[in-house]
Structure 1
Amino acid sequence: MRVGQDNDIERIRYLLLAVQREGNRQLAAGLAPLELTPSQAEVLHLLAEYGPLTLTGLGELLVCESGTNPSRLVARLIDAGLVQKQSVANDARQISLSLTVQGHARQEGARQIEKHLHDRMRTALYGVDLGALASALTGLVRDTPVGDAIARRTPTRKGTPS
């Protein structure tokens, strides 16, 4: 019986990898006209939802990057005029990140593309208990940096800069 279970687990592992890669491929294709990558769109989403954020605070919420210092990713968005940085009043070593007007507009476009992807997922998962699926997947990343980043994305955090 264990061999069958091991085969099922291996199949699930590869299915999760395939779903992640295909979803990222579809998202990248949708975002290309906006000149955004999925990682950049995630930064814009987080700044719209939780900003302003410090660089460390942003890093703690990101799923697309490991660690807590996404400086190169943010630098590209600053150079593109989508994100602005300001010194934090009580700590000159820290910077606060927020969206520019252009960043808000681009984030809205990205949100529409993500909504389309979410609608396709919802259709494909029709009849599946999404809460149970989310709980099962959460268990797979619990106590990992990416699992911690997802756990930090709660409605109670909205508007709370880090």
Structure 2
Amino acid sequence: MRRIKDKNGGFFWACSDPDCHSFLPDADGKPGAPREKAVPSEFPCPVCGKPLYRKEKDGAPYWACFNREGHANGENVFLPDDNGKPGKPKQRAPRIVTEFVCPDCGKPLLLKNGTSKTGKAWERFDCSGFPTCKSSFWGGNGKPNFDKRAKTSR
């Protein structure tokens, strides 16, 4: 196994064999114990009807469905935990269909606005052809900058 630095500055361990897809958390510079595999629950996803999974991040429980093909725009579904049951989904700002087209596939780009943790406003244009096309571009003044591709995890 080899130790790898992730995009957030943390570490994890991965098998060196290209045919093996084993990953382990980092425990003080050594491979940690494997995490428990998520087990599907009896609660259905409100979007696609497949089972939700109860997960935890930083000690806070939440519910997730990873059936991207069954969801609009190919996005995962995340729900807050409500005393051991899935809570109501958080309302997301609607994505605005723009007149701009994706240079990679020709489909319309969707505008998403947000604010960073430091309070700086941002614009991102995502291809409406997701998950087939994963193109995404940073923007400014309501226009995409096709020279500045964005890395997204949608």
TM-score by length of 1: 0.22
Q: Which has the larger radius of gyration?
A: 2
Structure number having the greater helix percentage: 1
- Which structure has the higher relative contact order (CA within 8 Å, separation 6+)? 1
